[in-house]
Amino acid sequence: MAEIGVHLDALRLRGFPFSDEVTRFISAHETVFVVEQNRDAQTRTLVMNELGVDPAKLAAVLNYDGSPVTARFITENIAERMRKLPHARISAAAQ
């Protein structure tokens, strides 16, 4: 992502219930991409329900075709969504 001018912070969820670190991370960002490998976006739903996060703040990146999610799928999906966000900064070369 850095190669196309996109800076991202990352947080790996390791368990439920969520730690306070998850709340702080979400609060510190305008948009949070939730990468999941299921059609129903269960993690995103848990975050919304348990932490009271506005659904508009959580962008689902879903891969549910039965194969393992790839870095290419994640980066292409996030880059495409970043181009549509009014507050996103993405290099002209990547657009």
Domain ranges of the chain: 2-94
Q: What is the pLDDT of residues 32-65, one digit of tens each?
A: 999 999 888 899 999 999 999 999 999 999 998 8
CB 47 within 8 A of CB 34: yes
pTM of structure = 0.82
CA–CA dist 53, 17 (Å, integer): 15
Q: What is the pLDDT of residues 66-82, one digit of tens each?
A: 889 999 999 999 988 88
Confidence (pLDDT) at 93: 41
